[in-house]
């Protein structure tokens, strides 16, 4: 994919997700109508943030940077509060724009700050990781973590535009690139079988940041997300079936790993194990075959993603899953596959099956 490609997303309002290279020229146009632009970024992206700030300044915007901690350390109430206070100091008004520049944690935080400042200002997301491009920055889920769990504080707030500039991936550490691929494989299992066969057939080519296949897979994964959130923006099941909750495939167990590991595991790595866990659960429930489960392992391991977890943490994982927001009341609810690309809910599986599935993913 050489030219840029625009996917319109219609959820709350219509906005473009633009995928291509050298897209930052699109930003002033997306910021039109604002006087001030605040760029929320982590330290590692300071040079890019400064370049964007200088460009916007040349375009007549007042622009300032809000540096936040890296990764999940950004998604805390004190960091959100720091960002709010900075917006206040800079006289940020309802017609001004926040830009979220970074990985999924930064875009989640930027979206949450935008959703809450003056009851909602525009946010333009510039995701710089695969994970943020195909999942976090698209679809309008925003949030922070707390001691009670991951993403329990948040709001639905659609972005005003998303710029997926593939140039950002050229310098991404390989582990971060791979970790994001778990979300691409996820939508392959839940919605788009061709994503799985492309990864199986083309191997390493799919993670070559200089190649066309990576951009094409990002485009197809974003298209799945666009289609899903257009029908069920607030994950209420509108439109029938599992709706947006399908995008949580592997996340109930994955979030529990993240919590038990105090967020030191990459999100993609955790949901990689989480997908194998629910695939094993579905197999135990007669919904997937052994070869379907093996396909999960093969695809994830092909890209170096983990498929096993420590065998001595069941009690901690179970209590973390109980507070996960996908649980309803006291009943645990999983998105499983009733055959590939057919996500369904399974409410309150037998505890013995839950434990047996854990046994199948322990190292």
Token reading at 290: 């052994």
The least CB distance from residue 138 to ligand GLY, in Å, is 8
Residue nearest to ligand GLY as judged by C-beta position:
247
Asked if 150 contacts 240 with a C-beta cutoff of 8 angstroms, the reply is no
Catalytic residue among 41, 122, 219, 255: 255
Q: Which is nearer to ligand GLY, 17 or 247 (CB)?
A: 247
Asked if 266 is an active-site residue, the reply is no
Least separation in angstroms between CB 187 and ligand GLY: 10
Smaller CB distance to ligand GLY: residue 141 or 157? 141
Residue 259 known to be catalytic: no
Find residue 334's DSSP bridge partners. Answer: 346
What's the rounded Cα separation, in Å, for the pair 206 and 199? 6
Assess whether 244 carries a catalytic annotation. yes
Query: Could you tell me whether strands 62-68 and 161-165 are parallel, antiparallel, or unpaired per DSSP bridges?
Result: unpaired
At closest approach, how far in Å is the CB of 229 from ligand GLY? Answer: 7
Q: List residues binding ligand GLY (CB under 6 A).
A: 135, 139, 141, 244, 247-248
Residues 6+ apart with CB under 8 A from 10: 226, 230
Least distance (Å) between residue 247 CB and ligand GLY: 4
Task: Answer yes or no: are the C-beta atoms of 102 and 121 closer than 8 Å.
Answer: no
Q: How far is the CB of 300 from ligand GLY (least distance, A)?
A: 18
What is the DSSP code string of 78-124? Answer: HHHHHHHHHHHHTT--TT-EEEEEESHHHHHHHHHHHHHGGG--EEE
Query: Long-range CB contacts (< 8 A, 24+ apart) of 205-211?
Result: 206/181, 206/303, 207/174, 207/177, 207/178, 207/181, 207/303, 209/166, 209/169, 209/170, 209/172, 209/177, 210/170
> In terms of CB distance, is 138 or 305 closer to ligand GLY?
138
Q: Is 287 a catalytic residue?
A: no
- What DSSP designation does 338 have? S
Nearer to ligand GLY, 87 or 273 (CB): 273
Least distance to ligand GLY, CB of residue 149, Å? 15
Of 11 and 66, CB closest to ligand GLY: 11
Known active-site residue 248: yes
> Which DSSP helix (H) or strand (E) runs through 62?
strand 62-68
Cβ neighbourhood burial of 292 (10 Å; 0-12, 13-18, 19+): middle
For the bound state, the minimum distance from the C-beta of residue 189 to ligand GLY, rounded and expressed in Å, comes to 14
Residue 234 among the catalytic residues: no
For residues 20 and 111, which CB has a smaller minimum distance to ligand GLY in the complex? Answer: 111
C-alpha–C-alpha distance, residues 62 and 66, integer Å: 13
Contact 251, 271 (CB under 8 A): yes
Would you state the structure tokens that stand for residue 267, as one six-digit string? 């999100």
Provide the annotated active-site residues.
119, 141, 183, 225, 235, 244, 248, 251, 255, 267
């Amino acid at each position: 994919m050489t030219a840029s490609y625009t996917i319109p997303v219609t959820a709350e309002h219509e906005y473009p997700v633009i995928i291509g290279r050298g897209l930052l020229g699109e930003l002033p146009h997306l910021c039109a109508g604002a006087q001030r632009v605040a760029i929320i970024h982590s330290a590692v992206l300071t040079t890019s943030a400064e370049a964007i700030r200088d460009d916007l300044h040349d375009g007549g915007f007042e622009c300032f940077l809000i540096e936040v901690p890296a990764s999940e350390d950004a998604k805390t109430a004190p960091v959100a509060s720091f960002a709010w206070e900075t917006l206040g100091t800079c006289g940020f008004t309802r017609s001004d724009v926040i830009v979220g520049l970074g990985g999924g944690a930064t875009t989640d935080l930027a979206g949450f700050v935008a959703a809450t400042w003056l009851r909602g200002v525009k946010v333009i997301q510039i995701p710089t990781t695969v994970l943020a491009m195909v999942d976090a920055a698209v679809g309008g889920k925003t949030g922070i973590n707390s001691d009670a769990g991951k993403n329990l504080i948040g709001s639905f707030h659609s972005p005003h535009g998303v710029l997926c500039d593939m140039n950002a991936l050229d310098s991404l550490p390989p582990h971060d690139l791979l970790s994001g691929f778990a979300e691409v494989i996820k939508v392959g299992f839940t919605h788009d079988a061709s994503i799985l066969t492309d990864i199986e057939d083309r191997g390493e080519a799919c993670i070559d940041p200089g190649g066309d296949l990576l951009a094409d897979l990002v485009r197809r994964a974003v298209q799945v997300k666009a289609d899903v959130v257009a029908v069920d923006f607030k994950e209420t099941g509108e439109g029938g079936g599992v709706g947006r909750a399908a995008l949580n495939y592997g996340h109930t167990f994955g979030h529990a790993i993240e919590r038990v590991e105090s967020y030191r595991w990459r999100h993609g790595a955790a949901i990689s194990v989480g997908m194998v866990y629910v695939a094993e659960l579905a197999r135990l429930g007669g919904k997937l075959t052994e070869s379907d489960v093996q396909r999960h392992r093969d695809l994830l391991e092909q890209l170096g993603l983990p498929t096993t977890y420590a065998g001595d943490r069941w009690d901690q994982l179970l209590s973390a899953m109980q507070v996960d927001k996908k649980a309803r009341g006291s009943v645990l609810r999983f998105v499983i596959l009733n055959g590939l690309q057919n996500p369904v809910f399974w409410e309150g599986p037998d505890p013995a099956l839950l434990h047996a599935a854990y046994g199948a993913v322990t190292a």
